Amino acid sequence: MKIYEYVVKKPKITSPYGYRINPVTKKKQFHYGLDLISKSGNKNLYAIDNGVVQKVVNNQSKSKTGYGNYVWIRYKNYNLSLLFAHCSKILVKKGDKVTKGQVVAIMGSTGRSTGTHLHLGMTRIGKSAWLNPSKFDMLSDKPVVVYYKVKKGDTLSKIAKKYKTTVKQLCKWNNIKNPNVIKVGQKLRVK
């Protein structure tokens, strides 16, 4: 799944990243972002991961950037900062912690915009070079499974403590009936 497909539900790209004729100025310009609408009409804009709100600007009318109401959120796990521009409403404040799937803003047409859409901008954290948002994927949600080979002197409670889990969970994962009986060399799922 692409990141932009998570930001907007049922997204449709109305203007890709790259050269285009600017719809407002009618001049050939580089478009440093992705313009998106939702085929379902859902105007919610979602946080892609746990992140921190870097910047919020509520400027419906004449902003220098033309972004109208916009918000920047940084996501450490991705080393990405995402810009949501032209929002009708921003639901978070600078410094707020957001969680994956949280609605952080509502799509709108504030600033230099010809209709309701999201302008999605993307950079590395702390960098100013724009990236093409259509090239970035969501990180997998699949849990990481880890195995451990039992050594001499190991007990289930020792292993459980080491991997921050419980004896009960270890027994469940590994189909162990008697927690007091483990063999040296036995492979156990510990995560």
Residue 169 main-chain phi, psi, to 5 deg? -65, -40
74 vs 119, beta carbon nearer Zn ion: 119
C-beta of 33: minimal distance to Zn ion in Å?
5
Nearest CA-CA partner of 10 in 44, 51, 61: 44
Among 110, 119, 160, 188, binds Zn ion (CB under 5 A): 119
DSSP 117: B
Does 112 interact with Zn ion (rule: CB under 5 A)? no
Contact assessment for residue 110 and residue 68, using Cβ atoms and an 8 Å cutoff: yes
Which residue matches tokens 């609605």?
103
Name residue 161's amino acid.
K
C-beta of 35: minimal distance to Zn ion in Å?
4
Does 35 interact with Zn ion (rule: CB under 5 A)? yes
C-beta of 31: minimal distance to Zn ion in Å?
6
Q: Which stretch binds Zn ion (CB under 5 A): 31-39, 40-48, 126-134, 180-188?
A: 31-39
72 vs 190, beta carbon nearer Zn ion: 72
C-beta of 142: minimal distance to Zn ion in Å?
33
Round to whole Å and give the CA distance between 81 and 97: 14
Does 49 interact with Zn ion (rule: CB under 5 A)? no
Contact assessment for residue 137 and residue 55, using Cβ atoms and an 8 Å cutoff: no
Round to whole Å and give the CA distance between 77 and 137: 12
C-beta of 118: minimal distance to Zn ion in Å?
8
Which stretches of the chain bind Zn ion, using CB under 5 A?
33, 35, 119
